[in-house]
Structure 1
Amino acid sequence: MRMSKDFWENRWENNQIGWDLGEVSPPIKAFIDQLNNKKSFILVPGCGNAYEAEYLFENGFQNTYIVEIADAAIQSFKKRYPQFPAAHIIHGDFFDLDRKFDLIIEQTFFCAIPPAQRLDYVKKVKSILNPKGKLVGLLFNRFFVKGPPYGGTVAEYESYFEKDFEIQIMEPAKNSIEPRDGSELFIKLQLK
């Protein structure tokens, strides 16, 4: 069973948000910096403080959307970055989305999903990506004693994605922040 809305609200209200870097993760920033199509529809799911969405929007990607289940996270983002379009802030469950996107940015959302539900994530990503759409971001390349976060391995991730996605990149991230150095995989997957 997925973590409940109350679980995530509690984490935010008690400032138990150790995944929050306070900035865009360097591997994702480097990817965004080479993007050209400013008209792309982009989603950052389970966005938390949504540094990636803020960076995208500031760099001209006006069709950037976020989805977050925890109201406290949404309010934190709105307070920190009030110029982000309210219509692009989706307060709800990622698994209930029915919009289409060209690109989904993965940053500490997949790792919050219990492994037994990861195929649900893959199916949902497949259903909301436009043809040839991409899933790009970071996955943990290690295990954790107790989750979330939940880690995994390259072989495990390949087993989830290879049927429906061309795995263009799935390799150790070269520019992770120091505490995560050596434990993150950068992924770039394109819908077949």
Structure 2
Amino acid sequence: MNQDFNAAYWQQRYRQNQTGWDVGGITPPLKEYFDHLKNKDLRILIPGCGNAYEAEYLHKNGFKAVYVADVAEAPLQNFLGRVPDFPQDHLLRQDFFSLQGPFDLMVEQTFFCALNPQLRAAYALKCHELLQPEGKLMGLLFDTTFEKAGPPFGGDREEYKIYFAPYFDFIHFETAYNSIPPRQGKELFMLLQAKQIQV
């Protein structure tokens, strides 16, 4: 796999409106989880945020330390156009693997599936590095294969467990019951807690 899914690639996808993963708002599994969070001071990172509907929802509900990261400028500008009072220093235009923590919570929403699959093990390790001890990684993973060449890239829960098990305890890792209809039965909802280990 030689395709370089870099900033220029994603910028072009947004400019050409080739954003089939974008459903135009926060999805029910993430909204339901956020609605149960009590601490509005949690440091929350949404990497590969795209149009960042999750950050918009959190910000409008009083969460003060939400950070979004993407390599492409276009989605960050789209987000800022919708949420002009979002702190600009919480908009991080940089590669995921160059981000610095620590964060209390990381939100996964169609970023993992956009990465070159050869980077999945490195993604799991980086998530652990970015989190506080016992910090949480929460979100959705596609539990399906796709007919067309990716991104998005599919996979299954047994594959994913291999990547995350060295660094995380599994609190919840099951098929999402409240996915949007086109993704029903094809998403895993995960809630993982960072292990206190030396890596």
Shorter-chain TM-score tier: over 0.9
2:85 counterpart residue number = 83
1:148 counterpart residue number = 151
**Of residues 116, 123, 126 in structure 2, which corresponds to 1:124?**
126
Superimposed CA distance per residue, residues 10-36 of structure 1 (whole angstroms, 9 cap, x where no aligned partner): 100100011111110110000000011
**Of residues 158, 162, 170 in structure 1, which corresponds to 2:161?**
158
User: Hey, what's the Cα distance between the residues in 2 that align with 1:164 and 1:69?
Assistant: 25
What amino acid is the match of 1:163?
P
User: Hey, what's the Cα distance between the residues in 1 that align with 2:58 and 2:85?
Assistant: 13
8 Å CA contact 2:73–2:93 kept in 1: the answer is: yes
2:185 counterpart residue number = 182
How much is the aligned-residue C-alpha RMSD, in angstroms? 1.0
What amino acid is the match of 1:176?
S
Superimposed CA distance per residue, residues 109-142 of structure 1 (whole angstroms, 9 cap, x where no aligned partner): 0010121110111111011100100000000000
Stretches of 4+ moved more than 2 A in 1?
none
Unmatched segments (≥5 aa) in structure 1: none
User: Hey, what's the Cα distance between the residues in 2 that align with 1:48 and 1:83?
Assistant: 18
What amino acid is the match of 2:175?
P
**Of residues 71, 74, 85 in structure 2, which corresponds to 1:72?**
74
1:99 partnered with 2:101: yes
**Of residues 44, 47, 58 in structure 2, which corresponds to 1:45?**
47
Q: CA deviation at 1:99?
A: 2.3
User: Hey, what's the Cα distance between the residues in 2 that align with 1:122 and 1:33?
Assistant: 26
What amino acid is the match of 2:101?
R
Equivalent pairs: percent with the same residue? 49
| Equivalent position SS for 1:17 | coil
| Equivalent position SS for 2:92 | strand
User: Hey, what's the Cα distance between the residues in 1 that align with 2:75 and 2:58?
Assistant: 18
2:21 counterpart residue number = 19
1:63 partnered with 2:57: no
| Equivalent position SS for 2:141 | strand
User: Hey, what's the Cα distance between the residues in 2 that align with 1:74 and 1:127?
Assistant: 24
8 Å CA contact 2:101–2:129 kept in 1: the answer is: no
1:172 counterpart residue number = 175
The alignment of Structure 1 onto Structure 2 pairs a total of residues equal to 192
User: Hey, what's the Cα distance between the residues in 2 that align with 1:8 and 1:77?
Assistant: 15
Superimposed CA distance per residue, residues 12-68 of structure 1 (whole angstroms, 9 cap, x where no aligned partner): 010001111111011000000001111110001111110100111111110000001
8 Å CA contact 2:68–2:91 kept in 1: the answer is: yes
8 Å CA contact 2:45–2:106 kept in 1: the answer is: yes
User: Hey, what's the Cα distance between the residues in 2 that align with 1:73 and 1:138?
Assistant: 20
1:138 counterpart residue number = 140
Q: CA deviation at 1:3?
A: 1.1
